[in-house]
Amino acid sequence: SYVLTQPPSVSVAPGKTARITCGGNNIGSKSVHWYQQKPGQAPVLVIYYDSDRPSGIPERFSGSNSGNTATLTISRVEAGDEADYYCQVWDSSSDHQVYVFGTGTKVTVL
């Protein structure tokens, strides 16, 4: 089955840039979506199709995807960005079609 690997945690000072990676075999050939999840809440879509932002998501959130790594970048980090972040793809490379989530990254704002 397809595996998406994320760093367990990322720490960043307010105003700085946080980069969250999502590693997968040839992930650059897939569309990657990113979700933000705060404690006790449902996930919120922050990036879809590698780099598109839903309405209402600040421009500080951006995404890229190439080779074996997709990256979510949060610029000018704010305290409210502290949350868990998950990448997600649709994998149709095996006999089955399945939606796969990454292992998740906890972003801590120092």
Partner 1 sequence: QVQLQESGPGLVKPSGTLSLTCAVSGGSISSSNWWSWIRQPPGKGLEWIGEIYHSGSTNYNPSLKSRVTISVDKSKNQFSLKLSSVTAADTAVYYCARRYDSSGYWYYWGQGTLVTVSS
Is 3 one of the binding residues for partner 1 (CB under 8 A)? no
**What Cα–Cα distance (Å) separates residue 49 from each residue in 39, 55, 64, 76?**
25, 14, 9, 23
Using the contact rule CB under 8 A, the part of the chain among 12-20, 21-29, 38-46, 66-74 near partner 1 is 38-46
Of 31, 51, 64, 69, which one interacts with partner 1 (CB under 8 A)? 31
- What residues contact residue 27 under an 8 Å CB cut-off, 6+ apart? 4, 65, 67, 68, 69, 70, 89
What SS3 class is residue 81?
helix
Minimum distance, C-beta of residue 25 to partner 1, in the bound complex (Å): 17
Using the contact rule CB under 8 A, the part of the chain among 21-29, 43-51, 58-66, 72-80 near partner 1 is 43-51
Of 66, 98, 108, 110, which one interacts with partner 1 (CB under 8 A)? 98
Burial class (CB in 10 A: 0-12, 13-18, 19+), 36: buried
Minimum distance, C-beta of residue 110 to partner 1, in the bound complex (Å): 22
* Residue pair 31/90 in contact by the 8 Å Cβ criterion: yes
Q: Which residues are at the interface with partner 1 (CB under 8 A)?
A: 1, 31, 33, 35, 41-45, 48-49, 54, 86, 88-90, 96-104
